[in-house]
Amino acid sequence: MTVLNDLVRPDRYPRSSRYDPAWLLDLDMGPNPLWLLEDLAQNLDLRPGMRVLDLGSGKGATSVFLAREYGAEVVAADWWIAPEDAAAVFAEAGVGDQVRAVRAEAHALPFEEESFDAIVSVDAFEYFGTADGYLPYLARFLRPGGQLGMATPAMTREVRQLGEIPRHIKAVVGWEAIAWHTAEWWRFHWEITELVEVTSARLQPDAWQDWLLWAQAGAGHQPGSRSANEAVIDMLTADGGEFLSFALVTARKS
């Protein structure tokens, strides 16, 4: 059985391991967002005072991390979660003066052009970011030289190449998996625009095991989410890393 202590892994995730796993599980909306962000941030240059947009910030864990770990001034933009609820998380975490919560739809962002030094998005881009015109739209909000970092569920091979969504994945997420592109798909899709230079595009090693560990902990921590987590556990166990991963992609605005 996964216990909360199993989630503290300073050898692999030193920064994330400083956060209370119970706190993070209370904000849970999918895989562990801090593990993904900590890994993603290795390919970014985040510095104190930078204006960072956390796009699809959910209940706010990644925004807290960006503020605390990198000293960023964060705008936490999300569609489903009420900004008042996210703001309460930021105040409680002691970063209320560094993080502003905003209700925003990813295609109608209420910001000035070139107003961010970096845009970060963890486990959200798959919902809104795969259309051909999305990167060009989003890049408008970055200053020249600004950075983009995105972590999203991914497949080791394109669904198009496989000719179908593998059965164990389709059983849990249905057609949504067609948005789970490979890292190389993202690299090409962004780079071809010539609006950004892709600085890294990689699949996270053993992402499925991280996700499994987290889902097992979630099933034990929140009885209400047990069946959803059990479906994910079944999917990941059947997969064993054959198809499922996470893509970590970073770029710099040209």
Ligand X SMILES: C[S@@+](CC[C@H](N)C(=O)[O-])C[C@H]1O[C@@H](n2cnc3c(N)ncnc32)[C@H](O)[C@@H]1O
Residues that bind ligand X (CB under 6 A): 29-30, 33, 56-58, 61-62, 78-81, 105-106, 122-124, 127-128
Minimum gap (Å) between residue 105 Cβ and ligand X: 5
Minimum gap (Å) between residue 76 Cβ and ligand X: 9
Q: Is the Cβ of residue 79 or residue 137 nearer to ligand X in the bound state? A: 79
Could you tell me which of 208, 200, 192 has the C-alpha nearest to residue 243?
A: 208
Could you tell me where the DSSP H helices lie in 27-166? 33-40, 61-70, 83-92, 125-128, 134-139, 159-162
Q: Is the Cβ of residue 127 or residue 137 nearer to ligand X in the bound state? A: 127
Q: Is the Cβ of residue 101 or residue 203 nearer to ligand X in the bound state? A: 101
Q: Is the Cβ of residue 151 or residue 155 nearer to ligand X in the bound state? A: 151
> What CA–CA distances, in Å, run from 141 to 45, 148, 193, 250?
18, 10, 16, 16
Tokens 């849970």 correspond to 28
Q: Is the Cβ of residue 111 or residue 127 nearer to ligand X in the bound state? A: 127
Minimum gap (Å) between residue 194 Cβ and ligand X: 26
Minimum gap (Å) between residue 223 Cβ and ligand X: 20
Minimum gap (Å) between residue 92 Cβ and ligand X: 16
The residue number whose beta carbon is nearest to ligand X equals 58
Minimum gap (Å) between residue 47 Cβ and ligand X: 22
3-state secondary structure (DSSP) of residue 70: helix
Q: Is the Cβ of residue 6 or residue 26 nearer to ligand X in the bound state? A: 26
Could you tell me which of 10, 250, 57 has the C-alpha nearest to residue 66?
A: 57
| Amino acid identity for residue 248 in this structure | L
Strands (E) across the chain are located at: 51-55, 73-78, 99-103, 116-122, 142-155, 196-203, 244-253
For residues 48 and 71, give the distance between their C-alpha atoms in angstroms, rounded to a whole number.
4
Q: Record the tokens describing residue 49, joined without a space.
A: 């005072």
